[in-house]
């Protein structure tokens, strides 16, 4: 007996599509569909621009936002979230420091919640920011970046309605 070669499928075609091209095509379509759903609706890629979240996130870093994180529960203090500004493609990345109904103030760079200083080990530098008492509504959160060493005027922070919070930054 001699050696039998597979004449039905040339080597390169077999290498690309395997021995079962239909099965491979179905796998590719399923993988593409799952990827579109996952990265189009569940995990949204967001690029961090600016220095307001340093050192936690560097400017230019690509991060993923889990849109399903707050379906079953509200955002919690200390979580990093993406918030919608003007349209679906303009978002900020900020940290939740104040929850609905709380009184938030900033005194000499220290965030106070209901009069008590907030423990923030992720903040490396602090400038002498000042913000008088702000009482959050039933559906409002107080958000601020981790880079408190920058001037207060250069930093966007403050209250945001729950409806503007897109999801939790996971990477």
Query: Of these residues, 35, 59, 61, 94, which one is catalytic?
Result: 94
* Active-site entry in 52, 105, 127, 130: 52
Q: SS3 string of the chain? A: CCCCCCCCCCHHHHHHHCCCHHHHHHHHHHHHHHHHHHHHHHEEEEECCCCCCCCCCCCCCEEEEECCCCCCCCCCCCCEEEEECCCCCCEEEEEEEECCCCEEEEECCEEEECCEECCCCCCCCECCCEEEEEECCCCEEEEECCCECCCHHHCCCEEEEHHHEEEEECC
Cα 146 from chain centroid?
14
Is 52 assigned a catalytic role?
yes
| Number of Cα atoms under 13 Å in the Cβ half of residue 108 | 1
CA 148 to chain centre: 20
| Catalytic residue numbers, as ranges | 52, 94
């Amino acid at each position: 007996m001699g050696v039998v070669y597979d004449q039905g499928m040339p080597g390169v075609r077999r290498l690309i599509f395997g021995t079962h091209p239909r099965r491979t095509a179905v796998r590719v379509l399923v993988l593409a569909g799952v990827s579109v759903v996952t990265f189009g609706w569940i995990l949204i890629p967001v690029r961090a621009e600016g220095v307001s979240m340093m050192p936690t996130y560097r400017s230019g870093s690509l991060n993923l936002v889990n849109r399903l994180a707050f379906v079953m529960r509200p955002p919690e203090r200390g979580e990093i979230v993406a918030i919608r500004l003007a349209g679906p493609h303009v978002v900020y990345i900020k940290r939740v420091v104040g929850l609905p109904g709380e009184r938030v103030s900033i005194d000499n760079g220290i965030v106070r919640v209901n009069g008590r200083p907030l423990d923030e080990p992720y903040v490396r530098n602090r400038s002498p920011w000042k913000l008088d008492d702000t009482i959050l509504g039933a559906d409002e959160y107080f958000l601020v970046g981790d880079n408190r060493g920058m001037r207060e005027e250069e930093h966007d922070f403050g209250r945001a309605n729950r409806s503007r919070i897109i999801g939790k930054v996971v990477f």
